[in-house]
Amino acid sequence: MKSSLSLLALPASALAGTVRWSGIFNSSATVAELDEWSWSNQIEPWQWYIHGTANTSEYLGLSSSFKNPAASDAQGLRTTIDGTSFWEGQTMERTELIPQTTADLGSGHLYYHFSLSTKTTNPPNASFEHQIAFFESHFTEIQYGLVDGASGTSDNTLRWNAAGDTQWSVQLEAGNWYNFAYDIDFSAKTVGLWASNGSEALTEVVSPVSASVSSNSEDWHVGVLRLPGSGANDAAAEDWFWSGVYVEEGELTTSIGDGSSSSENETTTAAAAAATTSAAAVETTAAATTTSEAAAVETTTAAAAAAAAETTTSAVLPTQIAVSASTAAAEAATTTSSVSSATQAATSAVIAVGSSVPAESASSSASSSEILPAPSTAAQALAEMGSVLKALLSKSGGAHARDFAVRR
């Protein structure tokens, strides 16, 4: 079974009790979705099959202008009856929605909430009896207009009936929002009424009275049934507007709303979610940037150190000086300081070597080392000097001062 619960919203005002079922529409709900209901596709939360032969949009409408301004609904519901609203050949004009739910709406102590209004455009005809928000057994309901069979031609009275009698009534005023809560105790078999106008909190206007209360959870008719009235007929459209339809258990919520709508709440939530997402994106970008910078520094440092080492080892230097330069370059490569300091360390070593060993001397040393290897230790030098002296002394005629003279 497909569900449209995501298109609904619970009352946004502070709830005293627990919502057992909600028929409140959020900003995403459309009439087309209500039209998808069928006996083979029983989509929650509304059954939609009691209506005339015209398109659903002729009988139902959803709009923020159809709700009680004080309520938290994003959209209110318009139900319309007209000269095409005859259901399955009946003489009664009907446009009614019924809860589609697996929740138990027929046990315990429950409050059935709804708000009702009319306008000067397409007003109800007071010459006909209207049965509104009724249960199948009619143990309680709202009525309007001239009761079928009563004398007179019209009656502008809006009444609440229970146990077959009128328990409360008021003259219907176009544009006013009438807020109701049926106080039904299925165990005690009683029903009472709470009511208010506009944004006012609900107050108990009728204490519970005994009645044959019962429900199978799919027999509360949210809509209008208009009786023909002595065989008369009126094809003109009548509009009735609904807001805040839900069933509550536990304590009764008497507040109607705080003036905010579900659409406003959704916008705020979406903005907060977007801000959170943006913050996460910034954090991720910052982390990625830090990682990239670290990698770049590491790569550049290693490259600079390698270049410094290459420059050092290519210079014509004595062995110990070359090793010192290479060590300086290696230390520069492993340090955590900036690339410039690593490069400077390596370069300084090269400059220091260059200043202490002239290029000519280095070249001359290199050439000499190719002709005659130089002694590498003091012992080798002394041994070679001893060999030279021994050779001189062993010459015939002995050694002479001229042998040690500087020759030009």
In the structure, what pLDDT confidence band is assigned to residue 46 with cuts at 50, 70 and 90?
A: very high
- The residue-averaged pLDDT of 242-271 equals 70
pLDDT at 233: 72
For residue 213, give every residue at least 6 positions away whose Cβ sits within 8 Å of its Cβ, in sequence order, or none: 139, 140, 184, 185, 186, 189, 190, 191
Q: Which of 147, 139, 143 has the alpha carbon at shortest distance from 212? A: 139
Three-state DSSP class for residue 19: strand
Using the predicted structure, report yes or no on whether residue 260 has a pLDDT greater than 50.
no
Q: Give the model confidence (pLDDT) of 88-107 as tens digits.
A: 989 899 999 999 999 999 99
Q: 38 or 335, which is more confident? A: 38
Residue 279: pLDDT over 60:
no
Q: Which domains does the chain have, with CATH numbers?
A: 5-258 (2.60.120.1160), 359-392 (no CATH)
Alpha carbons 258 and 179: distance in angstroms, whole number = 15
Question: d(Cα 97, Cα 45) in Å, to the nearest integer?
Answer: 10
Helix (H) or strand (E) holding 185: strand 178-185
| Burial class of residue 120, CB neighbours in 10 A (0-12, 13-18, 19+) | exposed
Which pair of structure tokens corresponds to residue 375? 């002694």
Instruction: Report residue 14's pLDDT band, with 50, 70 and 90 as the boundaries.
Output: confident
Cα gap 93→80, rounded to integer Å: 10
Judge contact between 108 and 249, C-beta under 8 A. Answer: yes
Of residues 242 and 303, the one with the higher pLDDT is 242
Q: Specify the pLDDT at position 380.
A: 67
Neighbours of 240 (CB within 10 A): 24
Return the higher-pLDDT residue of 83 and 406.
Answer: 83
Give the distance, in angstroms, between the CA of residue 236 and the centroid of all CA atoms in the same chain: 45
Maximum CA extent, the chain = 172
Cβ 164 vs Cβ 222: under 8 Å: no
Name the token pair of 373.
């290897």
Under 8 Å between Cβ of 200 and 179: yes
Report which of 75, 8, 21, 72 is spatially closest to residue 255, judged by C-alpha positions. Answer: 72
Most confident of 107-111, 285-289, 323-327, 361-365: 107-111
How far apart, in whole angstroms, are the C-alpha atoms of residue 315 and residue 310?
A: 9
Choice between 134 and 406, residue whose per-residue pLDDT is larger: 134
Q: What are phi and psi of 59, to 5 degrees?
A: -110, -25
Measured CA to CA, the distance from residue 111 to residue 108 in angstroms comes to: 10
Decide if 316 contacts 278 (C-beta within 8 A). Answer: no
Look at 222 and 376; give whichever has higher pLDDT: 222
Q: Considering only residues 112 and 271, tell me which one the structure prediction assigns the higher pLDDT.
A: 112
Whole-structure pTM value: 0.64
Q: Are 200 and 176 in contact (CB under 8 A)?
A: no
- Which neighbouring-strand residues pair with 185? 109, 190
Confirm if 37 and 16 have CB atoms less than 8 A apart: no
In the predicted structure, residue 322 carries a pLDDT above the cut 80 = no
Mean pLDDT of the chain: 75
The predicted structure's pLDDT at residue 106: 98
What's the token pair of residue 163? 């146990």
For 335-388, what is each residue's pLDDT tens digit?
434 434 433 433 343 333 333 334 343 344 444 434 445 555 666 667 766 665
> Could you give the C-alpha distances from 107 to 23, 45, 135, 218, 360, in angstroms and in order?
19, 19, 14, 13, 111
Angstrom distance (rounded) from CA 339 to CA 24: 65
Strand partners, 204: 194
Residue whose structure tokens are 């001359």: 364
Least reliable range by pLDDT among 111-115, 128-132, 253-257:
253-257
Closest by alpha carbon to 361, among 317, 323, 321? 317
* pLDDT in the model for residue 148: 86
Q: Is 74 or 281 the better-scoring residue by pLDDT? A: 74
- Return the percent helix, strand and coil in the chain, to nearest 5: 35, 25, 40
Per the CB < 8 A criterion, the answer to whether 145 and 128 are in contact is yes
Question: How far, in Å, CA of 376 to CA of 347, rounded?
Answer: 29
